[in-house]
Amino acid sequence: MIVTLKPGSDVAAAKSRLAGLGLWIDSVERSALGEVHLVVGRASTRVESATIEGLPEVLAVSQSGNNRPRMEAQGPRVEVRAGLAIDGAEPVLMAGPCSVESESQIHRIARKVRASGARLLRGGAFKPRTSPYDFQGYGKDAATWLRSAADAEGLAVVTEVMSEADVPLISNVADMLQVGSRNMQNFALLKAVGRAGRPVLLKRSMSATVDEWLHAGEYLLVHGASGVVFCERGIRGFDPSTRNLLDLGAVALIAKVFGMPVVVDPSHAAGRRDLVIPLAKAALAAGAAGLLIEVHDEPENAKSDGAQSVMPQALLGLGFVNEVQS
Amino acid sequence: MIVTLKPGSDVAAAKSRLAGLGLWIDSVERSALGEVHLVVGRASTRVESATIEGLPEVLAVSQSGNNRPRMEAQGPRVEVRAGLAIDGAEPVLMAGPCSVESESQIHRIARKVRASGARLLRGGAFKPRTSPYDFQGYGKDAATWLRSAADAEGLAVVTEVMSEADVPLISNVADMLQVGSRNMQNFALLKAVGRAGRPVLLKRSMSATVDEWLHAGEYLLVHGASGVVFCERGIRGFDPSTRNLLDLGAVALIAKVFGMPVVVDPSHAAGRRDLVIPLAKAALAAGAAGLLIEVHDEPENAKSDGAQSVMPQALLGLGFVNEVQS
Amino acid sequence: MIVTLKPGSDVAAAKSRLAGLGLWIDSVERSALGEVHLVVGRASTRVESATIEGLPEVLAVSQSGNNRPRMEAQGPRVEVRAGLAIDGAEPVLMAGPCSVESESQIHRIARKVRASGARLLRGGAFKPRTSPYDFQGYGKDAATWLRSAADAEGLAVVTEVMSEADVPLISNVADMLQVGSRNMQNFALLKAVGRAGRPVLLKRSMSATVDEWLHAGEYLLVHGASGVVFCERGIRGFDPSTRNLLDLGAVALIAKVFGMPVVVDPSHAAGRRDLVIPLAKAALAAGAAGLLIEVHDEPENAKSDGAQSVMPQALLGLGFVNEVQS
Amino acid sequence: MIVTLKPGSDVAAAKSRLAGLGLWIDSVERSALGEVHLVVGRASTRVESATIEGLPEVLAVSQSGNNRPRMEAQGPRVEVRAGLAIDGAEPVLMAGPCSVESESQIHRIARKVRASGARLLRGGAFKPRTSPYDFQGYGKDAATWLRSAADAEGLAVVTEVMSEADVPLISNVADMLQVGSRNMQNFALLKAVGRAGRPVLLKRSMSATVDEWLHAGEYLLVHGASGVVFCERGIRGFDPSTRNLLDLGAVALIAKVFGMPVVVDPSHAAGRRDLVIPLAKAALAAGAAGLLIEVHDEPENAKSDGAQSVMPQALLGLGFVNEVQS
């Protein structure tokens, strides 16, 4: 935003008045003819341009157009299925194993996470793995087991789709389709997933700015997705102390300033079980509308991500249920 | 840590058993003679080596020595002054303006932050600024005003010392000496501050790993500091959406796993007023033992950091007091 | 790598001797029974384990297995087509416009880059763009024009494939298939591209470690690619001064230590025309086996990446030809 | 820079014309009254505002003032001592051990680096070390040995000053004072070093933007430094493959666009001996006016940085001398 001042205005007074509204000036640009333009950098809050135009020193306010019209129009609420929405009013717990490892495993864990207050069951049928020699998921079978386990417990399903070719299969079993971090800017996949017309959980790429992330959401909506929920899971950092670097500033920004739905995956951020619950609580405090947590009842035998999977009972510490149900 | 297995052991069984304890293996290293060493990477929790040595497959456990003995010995509690400690039992609020701008300003703000539950008054007498042409603080006068304002309200004082030469002056007015981010590895300053024999608030450098940060704390203790409290204020990130990238994973790690005192400065992390309170709440949820918050009653006229300073009444949302006192 | 010492050895002497070989110790781990293991961190060069075992203090050397066997086996040479290989012996120039914008444009530019010493013609038929409202490439038509322009000049073709569904089409027109940064860990695409059995130019993800990048290459080879050439194009950094952060340390490491073929795209690294040629020269000095450069003869009208496209004549400064041919 | 268009101008034509000059538009901002301002982002080259004002669509050009006037005024040449300048005309080699370890060591190495074409001798008397238990340098004695070794070989001296208190001592022995990475924003030290009135080698902080780095140079000049030479030594990255991330884009920008003197330290960037020479060559190709290289004749016994120290004869590969002198 550029605020142009009336000729002869007191620049310092104008800057102070704008700051009083929560608009902070990055630079003052002057022309040879003496025109003064203030370039607004950080804004402490959203301000209508009419308010700015009302200030005594201000001649005009210039702005660029909205380049993410559909994301801006969506608002804070995304319906996952009838009776279940992510809207920030009440946080939603999504939990389950990293990988769906067997029919009995997913049924067992589904029951436990439901008892801890989860409303969605997560679990990978197709797994993105750094090495081609690592376990790649049980695919179609796993997808079927996941659906049946969720149905048995009255849970909705969120699971990752990794290939354009798998969109029909995953659409059949999932209420919400997940696009993983490594595919956040896989535009062919975004288009294919969008065309399925479903709600999408869009994980942030390890190197994406918030702006790039929201643009990826725009791809989904343009191509037909019924809604986009953002999921922060930690970005790439320089410190090996934690697996990834959880960016709760971005979460607060999206939730509190942009008014868009955003949830947090503390499991991938932490990479270690003992930090998952503190980071989950922090995420809710920062404004997250939900949590996506990896849970396993035998993490030492998990086929993937055992180090960061919590035991089902650990979820109780989050307070989604008042006491254990079974 | 290296876990050496007994000859002929089942490696997968050993890995699973170690994982059951919360120890996750980064690599399996084998010698030509068939010895198998498991290199432990991430640990989900702290485990005694005797416990590991008791496993059936384990021959020996090897470890490197502790290279930060004084930090390890300190424990979670640091006394700021008689009757006031940072210990994680009850979070401590430190608040005040970025810069001490006048005697009346600091007295006025001291009264307001005390009413919001603050126990320490912060305020810069000497200010580190990117440009030599920016306001550099009112120096010695500001330090005197800061002390008198704190005394008038029964608050302790924390303020930054930027130069070895200023250590005596700042030691006279402050209960706790602050070392700023840009000086975290200014070893000459760490030594001088340590020799003052006082508690120190050590801010994390924008590019420091947790390990480097703890080593900087070790410098302070070796040279005589009575205690070190770590302060996370956001590290350097690639996304201009927020001023810095708040690393609450590091906070949870230091507080929950290492058992050391750590507080959070959400103001510098956010860089914008509207995200300060959500990030403050998130910090406490992650395990922070306290908060350091920039407060101004006329942020639009602040000489520095106005964009990220909250109004005094905003602190009430943090719940440090039940209702407004005055 | 773990080097276990003979009982009673002089640890300092052993460390010095290992350092003399170029092996530097990260930590010394001791067991309760007095065994000493030296964990090798950085290696200044490659050393055979037999050499280490010959040192007087050394009892045994333990190593983990090779987890990228096909990448290790490939060696430094990849054949693009008969008579054209990327092998580091003589650098190979790949040049052309960001996007193929018309049949005449690509023919015109092909002629010019050939005259500057290019052996491959680059040009995007399908373009990955941050916003869904930006130009997405002319698709199949562009691919056809690209091939005919290359043929007219005797050039080989490298172009990006963005979707699993486009692999057959791109395989028909390209000698070498390019996988873009944003798809480096799009494992479905890596598998589909690998199955085409062709040489692949694998760009580094903005947030990938070298290790993750090489693993992505392993996916391609496991699934059938005839060869993998790595392409560094800048990673995500915190400084907006340049578009990306060119990591020539990684290039030197892959080329000089790992002995694998790696080329550099200075255009995306710089993001601005005036830095492209200096960075191109730096890349060759660091060991790059080739360059991938964006060229346009009317950059002010380019549909994408005009700011970082150099004029064809600028390539002459790289010395691929002794004088202008036409 | 903001370019305001004449009412009714063709915005696309204006953007193309500006791009033709090398100015690329980040955003188009419009007021309610229809004024159009183009905000210039990346510039492919420097353009005078008179040139822009001459374009048919342009009404006015607005710019912010120069906030680093002394750095801008310095120009590309800094004199180290009579007869020795860093000016980019001919690269200057600075070499020597990480630490000055004994009188004989520094004399021996000084002779060897002189024979390889070095004009300045480097060597640490005071060493910044992450741990307080690591070797901290031999201090004043080392400084004296360094000077005498340099004098014996006709070399100039560059060495680091870590403390305000040491500025007089180091000024006595060094021709050029070095400010280390960890002190780049230690403003008390910058002021003290500036007051010495000498040329300064200013290393970049691991997390500094180019803009912050140039501002630190401005501090030095404002306080009296006779000249500032920037030294890139690698910034903090996420990949442990190399010790730091060498940013040659920043080097090319400072050298080629800003016209300021910048040298490169490939030793700290690489962290491993085998990559130092390739990165040194790359630095010169990118536009560096000199190199700062760690050299040791017994790196396996070096008290610090042995892994990244090259043998003296390795310098010959850089071509600073035609053949070995002795």
Tokens of A185: 């800017």
Q: What is the pLDDT of residues C253-286, one digit of tens each?
A: 999 999 999 999 999 999 888 999 999 999 999 9
Sites in chain B below the pLDDT cut of 50: 324-326
Q: Give the pLDDT of residue A41.
A: 82
pLDDT-derived band at A20 (thresholds 50, 70, 90) equals confident
First-last CA distance in chain C: 55
Mutate to test the interface with C, among D15, D18, D209, D241 (most CBs of C within 10 A): D241
Share of chain C above pLDDT 70, in %: 99
Q: Which among D129, D186, D207 has CB closest to B206?
A: D207
- Using DSSP's 3-state secondary structure scheme, residue C178 falls into strand
Residue of D nearest to B162 (CA): D188
A29–D63 C-beta distance less than 8 A: yes
Distance from CA of B207 to the nearest CA of C (A): 11
ipTM of the complex: 0.94
Q: For residue A325, is pLDDT > 90?
A: no
pLDDT-derived band at C323 (thresholds 50, 70, 90) equals low
Residue labelled with tokens 């001088």: B192
- Please, are residues D260 and D230 in contact by the beta-carbon 8 Å criterion? yes
- Using DSSP's 3-state secondary structure scheme, residue A128 falls into coil
Cβ-Cβ contacts under 8 Å, A52 against chain D: none
> CA-to-CA distance for A39 and D252, rounded, in angstroms?
28
Packing angle, helices A187-195 and A210-222, rounded to 10? 40
Q: Give the pLDDT of residue D325.
A: 46
B130–D212 C-beta distance less than 8 A: yes
Q: Give the pLDDT of residue A305.
A: 85
In this structure, the number of other CB atoms found within 10 A of the CB of residue C185 comes to 26
Q: Give the pLDDT of residue A69.
A: 95
> CA-to-CA distance for C65 and C71, rounded, in angstroms?
14
Exposed/middle/buried for residue A232 (C-beta within 10 Å: 0-12, 13-18, 19+): buried
First-last CA distance in chain A: 55
CA distances from A1 to A38, A111, A280, D27 (A): 8, 52, 36, 10
The phi, psi pair for C13, rounded to 5°, reads -65, -40
Residue labelled with tokens 């790039």: A212
Strand-pairing partners, residue D293, are: D95
Q: Give the pLDDT of residue D299.
A: 86
Tokens of D41: 């982002």
Residue labelled with tokens 């804004």: A43
One-letter-per-residue 3-state SS of chain B: CEEEECCCCCHHHHHHHHHHHCEEEEEEEEECCCCEEEEEEEECCCCCHHHHHCCCCEEEEEECCCCCHHHHHHCCCEEEECCEEECCCCCEEEEECCECCCHHHHHHHHHHHHHCCCCEEECECCCCCCCCCCCCCCHHHHHHHHHHHHHHHCCEEEEECCCHHHHHHHHHHCCEEEECHHHCCCHHHHHHHHHCCCEEEEECCCCCCHHHHHHHHHHHHHCCCCEEEEEECCECCCCCCCCCECEHHHHHHHHHHCCCCEEECHHHHHCCHHHHHHHHHHHHHHCCCEEEEEECCCHHHCCCCHHHCECHHHHHHHCCCCCCCC
C296 CB contacts (<8 Å, ≥6 apart)? C97, C98, C109, C302, C306, C309, C310, C311
Q: For residue A326, is pLDDT > 60?
A: no
- Please, are residues C190 and C217 in contact by the beta-carbon 8 Å criterion? no
pLDDT-derived band at A307 (thresholds 50, 70, 90) equals confident
> CA-to-CA distance for D14 and D4, rounded, in angstroms?
10
Q: Print pLDDT tens along chain D (326 aa).
A: 999 999 999 999 999 899 888 888 888 999 988 899 999 987 777 788 899 999 999 999 999 888 899 999 999 999 999 999 999 999 999 999 999 999 999 999 999 999 999 999 999 999 999 999 999 999 999 999 999 999 999 999 999 999 999 999 999 999 999 999 999 999 999 999 999 999 999 999 999 999 999 999 999 999 999 999 999 999 999 998 889 999 999 999 999 999 999 999 999 999 988 999 999 999 999 999 999 999 999 988 888 888 889 999 999 999 999 754 44
Q: What is the mean pLDDT of chain A?
A: 94
Q: DSSP states of D153-183 as a string?
A: HT-EEEEE--SGGGHHHHHHH-SEEEE-GGG
Q: D30 touching B, CB under 8 A?
A: no
Packing angle, helices D187-195 and D210-222, rounded to 10? 40
Q: Which among B67, B164, B222 has CB closest to D164?
A: B164
A207 CB contacts (<8 Å, ≥6 apart)? A235, A236, B238, C205, C206, C207, C235, C236
> CA-to-CA distance for D116 and D104, rounded, in angstroms?
19
pTM: 0.95
Distance from CA of B132 to the nearest CA of A (A): 17
pLDDT-derived band at C41 (thresholds 50, 70, 90) equals confident
Q: For residue C308, is pLDDT > 80?
A: yes
Q: What is the pLDDT of residues A66-83, one digit of tens each?
A: 889 999 999 999 999 999
Q: D134 touching B, CB under 8 A?
A: no
Cβ-Cβ contacts under 8 Å, D183 against chain B: 186
> Worst-scoring range by mean pLDDT, A81-90, A222-231, C14-23?
C14-23
> CA-to-CA distance for D272 and D267, rounded, in angstroms?
7
The secondary element (H helix, E strand) that includes residue C266 is helix C266-270
| Interior/surface letters B198-215, b for 16+ CB within 10 angstroms, e for the rest | bbbbbbbbbbbbbebbbb
- Please, are residues B218 and B191 in contact by the beta-carbon 8 Å criterion? no
Q: Which among D22, D274, D282 has CB closest to C282?
A: D282
- Show the DSSP H helices in A260-302 as ranges: 266-270, 276-286
Q: For residue C324, is pLDDT > 50?
A: no
Q: C62 touching B, CB under 8 A?
A: yes
Cβ-Cβ contacts under 8 Å, B187 against chain D: 128-129, 162, 182
Q: Give the pLDDT of residue C29.
A: 94
D1–A31 C-beta distance less than 8 A: no
Cβ-Cβ contacts under 8 Å, B248 against chain A: 246, 248, 279, 282
Instruction: From A243, A257, A250, A279, select the one nearest B282 (Cα to Cα).
Output: A279
Q: Give the pLDDT of residue A323.
A: 55
